[in-house]
């Protein structure tokens, strides 16, 4: 066997481990919650953020023009507004409908109703909003888009979805389930490796000054600076720990012995970001992606597979499957 | 087996694009001199960044189907930007102050506002973008729109002076010695408001 053929065989084995659909249920429910919370958080500002020139904060058309410079094929809310205009529905009504549909899609995903079409609609509407408000977007939007993109391509529905009970769908191909979980796992490794690498290249993460600056700058300044000063000797340790946890995630999350520790550290980091900086949406989406990718079967008590589920799909445990 | 090959091929292309985006982001930081790496590496990083941009089709003409196809896919998958959040260092944050001049000579101060905290975070992200030289051509028009959003709540305002600047935070030891944040104006615009149309003078 030539080295190239051997490499290809190894790649195929790595990409298609047999897997249960528990991780997919975590992803679906988590992203459903995320979409619903996203819609609810932006409820009062939705029209203000996405209205056209002269009616909102900044013009939706401006964000869409910038997006169109990259490619006119990228979905945007302007398409829906134009579609509504062709049947005499005003912009404000279209925006309200888009918001309501997005909220409904979040709830449907939570329940697992019409999983595939709902995942596609949720991805499309969220992408439209993220791209139309491109100037106002931030990291959480990209992760939501990515999560919904993988979700709509994954073999839905999972066995915990209402769809499974209503339509009695056949069990999905365990190797295909394994493939999409691998994609999510590898993606998270890229996220943390490059995030950690970029942080390591800045001096401020080694002496704690970046943590101080991030926790004291509006709108992230939830904790009083006076309280932070009491813990000033801990900040450099935390800063270095963050860099190392992110940078080494790609190595230690795959090893059975260290997976739980790294997962707990990463989840702790995101919970802390959510609570101390008020970045709830960002924290939630990262927690959901991590739990779906490495949570099920990693020793986290509430996500541990039951023996019955193991028998259903595969003879080897998820721990064995996850090991490279 | 054929299906597996197709999935594997997609996996390779997908993560090749993510790698190109991530490396382009890292090299961009190095080229800007924002990292602790020696400045001698800046020019090489710039070249590497251009290679990354080429791989992503960004060197092609704006109307190129390859460029558009790659850009559409990157946006659809949410992978158009790297993952260098809060890195390598935390920059100053930015503030837009609006001086509202009334006919009777009164002057009030205000800022663009949103209702929810989630939207406030987005507004903050917009202000930070405006300071980026990349967004220089858009500054006036965006600031004008933000000023106009405030003017809608103060219809009797005659003129708005928008002052945009960075807020420098003291480091922890300076803060302990009583130093507080300082505002550094970067640019300002004057907008004259007549009737219901806003006409700007810079």
Question: Residue A131: its chain B contacts at CB < 8 A?
Answer: 75
- In angstroms, the CA A80 to CA A84 distance is 6
Identify all chain A residues contacting B167, using CB atoms and an 8 Å cutoff: 217
Query: What are the tens digits of pLDDT across the range B70-79?
Result: 999 999 999 9
Tell me how far apart the alpha carbons of residues A263 and A11 are, in angstroms, rounded to a whole number.
Answer: 25
Q: Residues in chain A, how many?
A: 324
Whole-angstrom distance, CA of residue A129 vs CA of residue A64: 10
Looking at chain A from residue 153 to 182, which residues have their Cβ under 8 Å from any Cβ of chain B?
A: 175-176, 179, 182
* pLDDT of amino acid A308: 45
Closest chain A residue by Cα to residue B28: A198
Q: What is the pLDDT of residue A43?
A: 93
Q: How far apart are CA A76 and CA A39, in angstroms?
A: 17
| Contact (CB<8Å) A136/B122 | yes
pLDDT band at A320 (very low <50, low <70, confident <90, very high): very low
The model's pTM is 0.91
With an 8 Å Cβ cutoff, are A146 and B145 in contact?
Answer: no
Chain B touched by A48 (CB under 8 Å): yes
Taking a contact as any Cβ pair under 8 Å apart, which residues of chain A between 88 and 147 contact chain B?
A: 127, 130-131, 133, 135-139, 141-147
- In the three-class reduction of DSSP (H, G, I as helix; E, B as strand; rest coil), residue A218 is classed as coil
Give contacts of A176 with chain B, Cβ < 8 Å. 7
Q: Which of B146, B172, B195 should we substitute to test contact with A (largest number of A Cβ atoms within 10 Å)? A: B172
ipTM value for the complex: 0.90
Whether residue A187 and residue B75 make contact (CB cut-off 8 A), yes or no, is no
Between A and B, how many residue pairs show a Cβ–Cβ distance under 8 A?
Answer: 214
CA distance A186 to chain B (A): 9
Q: What is the pLDDT of residue A311?
A: 43
Could you read off the pLDDT of A246-294 as tens digits, one per residue?
999 999 999 989 999 999 999 999 999 999 999 999 999 999 999 999 9
Q: In angstroms, rounded to a whole number, what is the distance separating the alpha carbons of residues B151 and B145?
A: 10
The answer on pLDDT for B194 being more than 70 is no
Where residue A298 falls among pLDDT bands split at 50, 70, 90?
low
Which residues fall within 8 angstroms of residue A74, CB to CB, at 6 or more apart? A67, A68, A127, A131, B71, B72, B75, B76
Rounded to a whole number, what is the distance in Å from the CA of A198 to chain B's nearest CA? Answer: 5
**pLDDT band with cut points at 50, 70 and 90 for residue A297:** low
Mean pLDDT for all residues in chain B: 89
Q: Could you read off the pLDDT of A136-178 as tens digits, one per residue?
A: 888 899 999 999 999 999 999 999 999 998 887 787 899 999 9
A146 vs B15, B78, B82: nearest CB = B78
Q: Do B78 and A143 touch (CB under 8 A)?
A: yes
Residues in B closer than 8 angstroms to A74, CB to CB, are 71-72, 75-76
Which chain B residue is nearest to residue A58, measuring alpha carbons? Answer: B145
Establish if A59 touches chain B: CB-CB under 8 angstroms: yes
Angle, to 10 degrees, between the axis of helix A115-132 and the axis of helix B65-77?
Answer: 110
Q: Who among A42, A202, A235 is closest to B88 (CB)? A: A202
Q: Residue B30: pLDDT above 90?
A: yes
Contacts of A147 in chain B (CB under 8 A): 78
What CA–CA distances, in Å, run from B111 to A41, B58, B114, B188?
A: 21, 36, 10, 14
Provide, rounded to the nearest whole percent, the portion of chain A with pLDDT above 90: 75
**DSSP notation for chain B:** -HHHHHHHHHHHHHHHHHHHHHHHHHHHHHHTT-SSS-GGGHHHHHHHHHHHHHHTTTTS-TT-HHHHHHHHHHHHHT-SS-S-TT-S-PPPEEEEEEEEEETTS-EEEE----SSHHHHHHHHHHHHHHTSGGGGGGHHHHHHHHHHHHHTT-TTEEEEEEEEEEEEPP-HHHHHTT---EEEEEEEEEEEEETTEEEEE-
Residue B107 near residue B161 (C-beta atoms within 8 A)? no
Nearest to B116 among A44, A205, A212 (CB): A44
Distance from CA of A192 to the nearest CA of B (A): 8
DSSP state of A292: I
B-contacting residues in A 222-261 (Cβ below 8 Å) = 225, 228-229, 232, 235
C-alpha distance from A234 to closest chain B C-alpha (Å): 13
Q: Which of residues 284-313 of A touch B (CB under 8 A)?
A: none
Which DSSP letter does residue A294 get?
I
CB of A313 closer than 8 Å to CB of A20: yes
The chain A residue lying nearest B140, using CA atoms, is: A58
Domain boundaries, chain B: 2-77, 93-201
A108, pLDDT greater than 90: yes
Residues of A in contact with B37 (CB under 8 A): 201
Proportion of chain B above pLDDT 70, given as a percent: 96
Q: What is the largest CA-CA distance in chain B?
A: 79
């Amino acid at each position: 066997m030539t080295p190239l053929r051997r490499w290809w065989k190894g790649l195929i084995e790595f990409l298609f481990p047999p897997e249960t659909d528990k991780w997919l249920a975590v992803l679906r429910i988590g992203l459903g919650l995320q979409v619903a919370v996203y819609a609810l958080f932006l409820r009062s500002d939705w029209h203000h953020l996405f209205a056209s020139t002269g009616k909102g904060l900044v013009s939706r058309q401006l964000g869409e023009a910038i997006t169109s410079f990259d490619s006119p094929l990228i979905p945007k809310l302007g398409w829906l507004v134009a579609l509504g205009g062709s049947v005499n529905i005003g912009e404000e009504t279209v925006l309200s409908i888009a918001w309501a549909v997005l909220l409904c899609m979040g709830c449907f995903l939570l329940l697992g109703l019409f999983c595939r079409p709902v995942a596609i609609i949720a991805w499309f509407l969220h992408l439209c909003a993220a791209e139309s408000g491109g100037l106002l977007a931030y990291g959480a939007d990209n992760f939501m888009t990515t999560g919904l993109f993988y979700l709509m391509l994954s073999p839905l529905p999972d066995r915990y979805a209402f769809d499974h009970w209503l339509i009695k769908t056949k069990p999905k191909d365990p190797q295909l389930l394994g493939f999409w979980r691998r994609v999510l796992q590898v993606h998270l490794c890229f996220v943390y490796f490059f995030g950690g690498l970029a942080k390591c290249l800045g001096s401020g993460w080694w002496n704690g000054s970046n943590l101080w600056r991030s926790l004291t700058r509006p709108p992230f300044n939830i904790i009083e600076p006076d309280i932070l000063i009491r813990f000033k000797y801990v900040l450099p340790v935390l800063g270095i720990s963050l860099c190392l946890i992110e940078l080494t995630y790609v190595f230690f999350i795959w090893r059975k012995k260290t997976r739980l520790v790294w997962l707990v550290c990463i989840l702790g980091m995101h919970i802390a970001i959510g609570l101390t900086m008020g970045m709830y949406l960002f924290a939630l989406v990262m927690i959901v992606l991590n739990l779906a990718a490495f949570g099920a079967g990693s020793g986290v008590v509430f996500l541990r597979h039951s023996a019955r589920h193991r028998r259903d799909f595969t003879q080897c445990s998820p721990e064995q499957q996850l090991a490279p | 087996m054929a299906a597996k090959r197709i999935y594997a091929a997609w996996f390779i292309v997908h993560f090749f694009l993510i790698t190109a985006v991530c490396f382009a982001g890292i090299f961009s930081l190095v080229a800007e001199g924002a990292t602790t790496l020696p400045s001698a590496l800046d020019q090489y990083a710039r070249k590497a960044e251009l290679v990354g941009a080429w791989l992503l089709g960004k060197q092609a003409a704006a109307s190129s189907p390859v460029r558009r196809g790659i850009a559409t896919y990157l946006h659809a998958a949410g992978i158009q930007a790297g993952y260098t959040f809060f890195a390598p260092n935390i920059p100053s944050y930015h503030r837009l102050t609006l001086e509202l001049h009334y006919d009777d000579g009164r002057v009030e101060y205000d800022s663009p506002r949103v209702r929810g905290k989630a939207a406030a975070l987005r507004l903050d992200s917009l202000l930070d973008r405006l300071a980026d030289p990349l967004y220089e051509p858009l500054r006036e028009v965006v600031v004008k729109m933000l000023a106009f959003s405030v003017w809608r709540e103060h219809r009797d305002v005659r003129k708005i002076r928008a002052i945009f600047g960075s807020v420098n935070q003291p480091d922890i030891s300076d803060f302990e010695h009583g130093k507080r944040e300082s505002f550094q104006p970067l640019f300002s615009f004057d907008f004259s408001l007549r009737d219901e149309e806003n006409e700007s003078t810079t």
